[in-house]
Amino acid sequence: MNLSDFDRTNHSGLYISKEAHPEYGKKYIVRFQHNRKRYVKVLGYTKKDNITKRTAISQMNEFKKSITLKIEENTNPVNADINEELLKELNELKNILGNSKKVDKKTLKEGIQKIYNANELKNYQIELIKLQTYLETANKKMMILFEGRDASGKGGAIRRITRYMNNKHYRVVALGKPTETQRNQWFFQRYVQHFPTGGEAVLFDRSWYNRAMVEPIFGFCTKEEHDIFMEDVVNFEQDLVRQNMILVKLYFSVSKDEQKRRFDRRIKDPLRQWKFSEVDMQAQDLWSEFSEKKYEMLRRTNSRSAPWHILRSDNKHAARLEAMKVILNSVDYDGRNPDLDFKVNDKINISVQKELMHMRKSENY
């Protein structure tokens, strides 16, 4: 736009074209400078837009006003305070994260999420200490069974549950293959010797339920031994409860797809390769066989005195949180925090009946 083609009007900043367009007429424009920046705008034509000098002056003033207000908004003290606050927050994040650009974004995100998860668990871990104190004071015995397929999250849950507990008053029991002597004993005998005494809690990382799933599939027991176990275990647990044993049975239910993902990670990650075993290699191939035994186990060994608590464990953190709630809800201990949410999440902590129904519909569990 060439300014030599326009005449000044008697209003500063308002110009009109020297020549008239045969169809549109003369053109009005506004041109002015503000804060060392030049602004130009076409206001319209005398014929096409029916614009007069008066309307052109009015439009020019509105345009100037809009530019001035916009600049003032960007420089007002409120926005300056907001910018200062954002800069402060950014610097705080930089101090916390350090040279985060060198860290893989996914790894960084996972690490930050772990911090949030750990903070969410802390209030429940405080309650677990209260529960443990109650067991000791009241001379109560507690036993928690952790069952589930390989890579279902049992070990991680046990570590979070016991992290702040007094190790003088709890034990984690993870038994290996039975010796020849133990194979000729009463089946439950090698577990009974690890049972808690008064004031103690024992957490079994896999329990006598090995005989319900693992042993029959891999031929570590005969069909007769498996049948006898399935007939006896409910009465065995009822006797324990009758003798004031607090018995909690947790089953971590991982999906087939998620189990495979975790196995793949174990294989690829040098820090996790030690977790991968020959049994793990067969777990996916034998998925259907394990499902059959799992279905039978849950159907036949769920009782009113010793019920199963099924925890969907594709989300490890959610399963750990629900496991803590189940344990805390099983004991009426002193000093319970009334402000803490002990209500179970029924999308994670589901009933045996619901799990069996899902298993009938899908092979993924």
The better pLDDT of the pair 290, 78 is held by: 290
Rg for the chain (alpha carbons), in Å? 36
Question: Of 96-100, 159-163, 187-191, which range is least confident?
Answer: 96-100
Asked whether the predicted pLDDT for residue 79 surpasses 70, the reply is: no
- Is beta strand 308-312 parallel, antiparallel or unpaired with respect to 349-350? antiparallel
First and final C-alpha spacing in the chain: 73
Question: Of 34-43, 190-199, 218-227, 231-240, which range is least confident?
Answer: 34-43
Model confidence at 324, pLDDT cuts 50, 70, 90, reads very high
Q: Please work out, in degrees rounded to the nearest 5, the angle formed at the alpha carbon of residue 223 by the alpha carbons of 221 and 227.
A: 105
The better pLDDT of the pair 31, 77 is held by: 31
- Residue 233, classed as helix, strand or coil, is helix
Asked whether the predicted pLDDT for residue 86 surpasses 90, the reply is: no
Q: What is the mean pLDDT of the chain?
A: 92
Selection from 306, 305, 309 nearest residue 321 by Cα: 309
Domain-by-domain residue ranges, the chain?
3-77, 106-361
Phi, psi at 141, each rounded to 5°: -110, 135
Range with the largest mean pLDDT of 35-44, 56-65, 184-193: 184-193
Selection from 351, 249, 227 nearest residue 293 by Cα: 227
Question: Of 79-93, 183-197, 229-243, 335-349, which range is least confident?
Answer: 79-93
Q: What is the pLDDT of residue 75?
A: 57
Asked whether the predicted pLDDT for residue 76 surpasses 60, the reply is: no
Percent of the chain with pLDDT over 90: 71
Residues 6+ apart with CB under 8 A from 50: none
Q: What is the pLDDT of residue 74?
A: 61
Q: Structure tokens of 110?
A: 């996972």
Q: What is the pLDDT of residue 94?
A: 80
Asked whether the predicted pLDDT for residue 9 surpasses 60, the reply is: yes
Asked whether the predicted pLDDT for residue 102 surpasses 90, the reply is: no
Q: What is the pLDDT of residue 279?
A: 74
Question: Of 64-73, 198-207, 351-360, which range is least confident?
Answer: 64-73
Q: What is the pLDDT of residue 73?
A: 60
Asked whether the predicted pLDDT for residue 205 surpasses 60, the reply is: yes
The average pLDDT across 8-30 equals 91
- What dihedral angle (degrees, nearest 10) is formed by the CA atoms of 59, 60, 66, 69? -140
Q: What is the CATH architecture of 106-361?
A: 3-Layer(aba) Sandwich (3.40)
Q: What is the pLDDT of residue 174?
A: 97
pLDDT digits (tens, 9 = 90+) for 135-149: 999 999 999 999 999
How many residues belong to the chain? 365
Q: Determine the CATH number of domain 3-77.
A: 3.30.160
Residue ranges in the chain assigned as alpha helix (H): 53-75, 77-97, 105-138, 154-162, 180-183, 189-192, 214-218, 223-242, 256-268, 278-283, 287-301, 316-329, 352-361
Q: Do residues 319 and 121 make contact, with C-beta atoms less than 8 angstroms apart?
A: no
pTM: 0.75
